[in-house]
Structure 1
Amino acid sequence: MRIRGVLTLQKRQVLVFFVLLGLSQAGIDSLHYSVAEERERGVFVANLAKDMELGLEELSSRDAQVVCDDGEKHLYLDLLTGELLLNEKLDREELCSSTEPCVLHFQVVFENPLQFFQAELHITDINDHSPTFLDKEILIKIPESATIGTTFLMESAQDLDVGNNSLQNYTISPTSHFYIKIRDGDDGKIYPELVLHKLLDHEEESELTLTLTALDGGSPPRSGTTRVLIKVLDINDNSPEFAQDLYEVQVLEDTPIGTWIITVSAKDLDTGNYGKLLYTFFHASEDIRKTFEINPLSGEVNLRSQLDFETIQSYSINIQAIDGGGLLEKCALLIKVLDINDNPPEVIMSSVTNTIPENASETLVALFSVRDHDAGDNGRMVCSIQDDLPFLLKPTFKNFFTLVSEKALDRESRVQYNITITVTDLGTPRLKTEYNIIVQVSDVNDNAPTFTQSSYTLLHFCIRRVMEPEEGTAQLVRQVLLLFVFLGGTLVYSETWDYSVAEEAEIGFCIGNVINDMGSHVGVEDLAARGARVIFDDYKSYLQLDLQTGNLLLNEQLDREALCGATEPCILHFQVLLENPLQFFQAELSVQDINDHIPTFLEKHMLLKISEGTSPGTSFQMDRAQDFDVGMNTVQNYTISPNAHFYVKLHDSGKDRKYPELVLEQSLDREKESEFNITLTALDGGSPSRSGTALIQVVVVDINDNAPEFERPLYEVQVPESSPVDSLVIKVSATDLDAGIYGELSYSFSHTSRDIQNTFEVHPISGEVRLKSLLDFEVIQSYTVNIQAIDGGSLCGKSIIAVQVVDVNDNAPEIAMTSLISPVPENSSPEMVVAVFSIRDQDSGDNGKMICSIHEDLPFLLKPTFKNFYTLVTERSLDRESRAQYNITISVTDLGTPRLKTQHTITLQVSDVNDNAPTFTQSSYTLFVPENNSPALLIGTISATDRDSGSNAQGPFPAHLVDVSGTGTLSHSYQYEVCLRGSTETSDFKFLKAVTRNNQKTENDFEENSIFVNGLGYN
């Protein structure tokens, strides 16, 4: 054992000497080896002994070992065979990702003497990964207007293999509309492009599902698939279509306000905004707009105000459906108002005689007319009086009736009659009107006086007969008139008089003279005598008859539009009635129009939506202006304010109705001018001409003719690797000149690796890029992220985000101990190699720079050797007797901020060498022994000290005193018991045992020895 220890010490000293003289070196030529990934543990890589031309015994004697740069034990060296073997399965993708070639650097380290050899292990790829699409579904939006040959770049598949085992081709199925074209990227990868070779039609097929297959070049090849969903985006290539060109509906005139009338329905084969329809009335009169309303979304037509059959019996309404792109279609709605019996008959009394003489037969009592505003049976009337009365009703002209006495009356029998004229219509329910007349019977002298008694005795009384006065001439005239009536003398003059007056003429204006039209048989004096009057069909008092002159005078200002609306000519029918005898003259008053109304647009603000893709020459019909005047006084022309895009032309729809049409003259561009206003002016033909205006707001509807554009083609950002998850990395922003859905952008990554998808995420709306997982500078230092903005029409813009990961000092230095020698013999030569170790720090820059140190009060030194390898050597010879153990702390501190430090403590024992002789505590000892003692009597003790330990303290007595403690670590003092071997007569003693100063016995007792101790005395 002593010889082996000395030899080891000599080797260490030689090694230290070799290192310090600079003879330790790395191998000049690197060793190169190769192995396929995924090989099992223990697979043979190379025979290092043979490659390095070393004997097997040298590998073992020089403590050869393999150290990898990453500190992992991927390989091990069999010292018995010299073979380099795999210590674990190697995964090329895990070790090197896509880096090619994949090289694992390691060193072969020899200790005796210290020497380093550099080596490389190339890990070759096998086809152990299938191509994989990060997204299981790829969504592509393509407008149906896309032309054949249009290409669409798609996401590529990921294949962790390299070389021929990586992606080599793409295919698509089915191929009815598309085929695949392969594009080579600047990064050496291939990307699939979808190429359109057959036109799309959203209305025929709004979605297509394809399967994209990626194939690698392995043998056999491996593949991966993803689903490609093609959404065919609609364009406005279909106009709305109504279910019917004409809708007809009948509505009772008593229908409550708000009642649903009918729902018109149109459909548009387009979708989205282009398929959203807006229903409106088109060219609707003021009456229509006041009476009906249409729900712009549902097409429901509801009643807005009360209907009146007696005013308007039907409405013809034009309805249009406009889609979101400005295309429109029209239909007609005919609403027939059904009459209900809501008007009772009316009795208009022209003249009445309240007192008639008795004994006059067939006397005219009353002249009246009846009317009912209802139509059909609701307007047919039956006129009657009580059956038990001596009166008759006689129809005369139109709805005029006369009430005459049937026979001579007898006042003495009945003085008064209550006559009820009852007019009942034939509607359901029947409505009835009653008019009461009280007729007094006047007395005539048709009875001689008679006495109530045959004789009277009267004292001083005078009897005088009082006579009833005669009714006179009036009663006689009535009788004559009555006779005239019943004898057929009532005359309706066959000729109709025609008069004319301009509307708005002043009250009192003379329109004509009836005497001139009546002829010579009626004079001015007859007008008053015969009770002449004017009666209009509607019983209004538009005119009055001057009985002194026979002139017809305006009794009020006439408004042609209020009287007749748009009806032309405007005729008021009336009769001139002469009562005595009864005679009717028919007449007409034509009310002439004056230009007293200006053209008026019912909608002062018109909205016109036109797609910017509309071709020049397209016309757009606008609502016409309303003008209550007629003839030349109504609207004759339209003009528009000067503009760069439109001119106006007139469209004559018949019935003297002219509509303005805007004609597109120059193409629109929403991005230059999204909307503008045009003033439409309507002019009538009056003198002077009058006009009205409306404002047309032209809204240019966008088409997807602009792709998104990013603010910058390249975004550069630095992100500390310590940034927490969800930290904002950068916010990208793109703009699209289009509007609506075509201007709505969605942000996404494009052609990204799995690392990027696992590390970052982008908000599709805001464009904020945030961390999805923690960064690690030591793994990946930078990312190149392709980002795209896609608008609602599938046009996209691209940009690049260059993310530079900023290293932070998040990795403490590491110490890997290669070898350690303990114990170290004392008195060994200076700069003996005690330990060999390497250090590393995965950070970079100052964060990865390291300072290695130990405590200065230790007799050791640190020496840098090869790369980051260090040796720990003795500074001077050690002395076990001074210090037998050292705790050495190796401190490695980086230069980062904050500085990180790693400490590794090794315990080093100092082994003893025989460099100290034993010594007694005294130069002489005197021991006294009583006589006659038995053997083994303890005589006394002597003390000796030996600073050495172990075998270095052993030897034959008296040259050496035996140190039996066996510790060999500290200097020891011993007391030896001296005992009498025989009797006191002899001088034979023995040392029985050694006892330490703390009275602990040694492990072994000495054998008996016959030893004479000089200077011992006894009695």
Structure 2
Amino acid sequence: MGKMGCHTVLSVLIVFVLPLCEDLFCEAMTMNSVILPQESGGGASQALSHLRSKRSWVWNQFFVLEEHAGDEPLYVGKLHSDVDKGDGQVRYILSGEGAVSIFTIDENTGDIHATKRLDREQQAYYTLRAQARDRNTDLLIEPESYFIIKVQDINDNEPTFLDGPYIGRVAEMSPVGTSVVTVVATDPDDPTYGNSARLVYSIIQGQQYFSVEPNTGVVRTVQADMDREVQDCFLLIVQAKDMIGQMGGLSGTTSVTVMLTDVNDNPPRFPHSNYQFSVPESTLVSRVVAKIKALDLDLGPNAEMDYRILDKDGLGNFRILTDPNTQEGLIILQKTLDFETKPNYTFRVEASNHNVDMRFLSMGPFVDVATVRLLVQNVDEPPVFLSPVSHMVISEAAAVGSHVGIVSAQDPDNTKSPVRYSIDRKSDVDCYFKIDNRSGVITTNQPLDREIVAFHNITVLASESLNVSQVGKAVVLVSLMDVNDNAPNFTIEYQMFVCENSKPGQLIQTVSAVDRDEPENGHHLFFSLTTEASEKLNFTLRDNQDNTASILTQHGSFLQRDQLVHSLTVVISDSGSPSLSSTNTLSITVCDCDLNGHRRFCSQTALPLLLVRLSSRTAAAILTCIFTVLGIT
């Protein structure tokens, strides 16, 4: 087959094969390739006509090496049309990306040169257009054709860790191979060409504790006994190197800070096996008397403590709680201390972790025990009464100086200082009682009257003779026994009226009486008329046997003109021994009444007699009302 025939077959082959290439440059056809001309706006028929004319562009695949540092323009390749006979009649023209500014063409020979350094990472290829024109007519002798100049990569970029530096955390005592963190580096070189962007990871600092997977960048532990309490932080340097780690490759590094997190792998331990504290015997119940603390090298919840008292000498007398802020054991007093009774206490305290990790129990018990000794300090205490509250009883009729009772106090200290007694006068302002300062005997100092003060609450003081500032107190409650020293009297001042038309045996009023005494069996009062009152035969009295009496008419038809006011003398007696009685006079005024017994008029002449029997204040009030009604000023 002739030369032109070969070109035709090759052109047709390229028409069908070139679109199947995924790469624009179809590496298999880079040498002496014949590119089918394409014109703007041309169709299949035009392409076929060119095939029939057996014309086409001829050039090699174009590559330019990035970062070329030569002083002269870099030769890229040659454009050539098979129409060009080498007689100078063909002129080559270059246009498109970078034409003139980056790429130049010799219009006579078609030689292309690059005039600037190129960076593949900024632009990987350039698309240009080529024309071949007749030098005389300036007509196209070949259709305009597109071609590409590819910038060929060199290894000029080192790997970079965009997310570094890294911080990773892993639990202490983790098994070998535990994942900590993944580091990732990037390389902007061409991953499809050579090994410039193929990375390998390695650790260049900290490799005795950690490793990194070469291909994935996963950092893992290589020791199983890393102890946070020994070292809690590690600084690693991880390197990423391109060219698969081969010599001449570029590398980048990043730091990885690995923090060991805590696990409960340490038991609590008391710094000392024995503790001793001093506690004043005057310390109040519920107060903290001592603090102890077991140390735990762990952190947070892994170091939380529980404490408990193990021995009977401490149980009941003390309790122990954990301070949530300091993890101290707070020993709290539960019963009052007394140096003279028990000068010291000795008991054991156990400390244990509140949260226990079962994985580490094989290391030993997670508890510790210490002995606590509490020494009770003697305090100069005030005198103590045998009874803080005493009840005493005395008759209200007791004479001044009568014996009421006795109190006793003593110094609880070993010094046994003598005690002096006194009465706090704030509790006995009127000085009804006095006390012997040596014996503690209480006697009356004034006459007593149960009807005035029935109950006395006094405070007795006991002070040490050797230290008067030490004062004890006791309460003495004195109750007065009642004697029958008060006669009964009417409950109120009665005002009685009787109608002129009253009938015999008619009830005028029911009266009652009171007695200020309080007999043990209650009041039982008796009412009676004096002999003189009984002989007048105007009125009579009936004792109702319930501490009341009824006043009744003895006869009927009382007349105002005969007598306006009648007097009735009543004797009221109590049931005491001896019995006391009082004589009381009742005034009964005669009034004009209607048929139903309602008063209509009482004679004014009876008013002065009535006022005489009233108190001055009551009489004045009645007169004021009368004058107001009559309009007298």
TM-score when normalising by structure 2: 0.45
TM-score normalised to structure 1 length: 0.30
Question: Which structure has the higher relative contact order (CA within 8 Å, separation 6+)?
Answer: 2
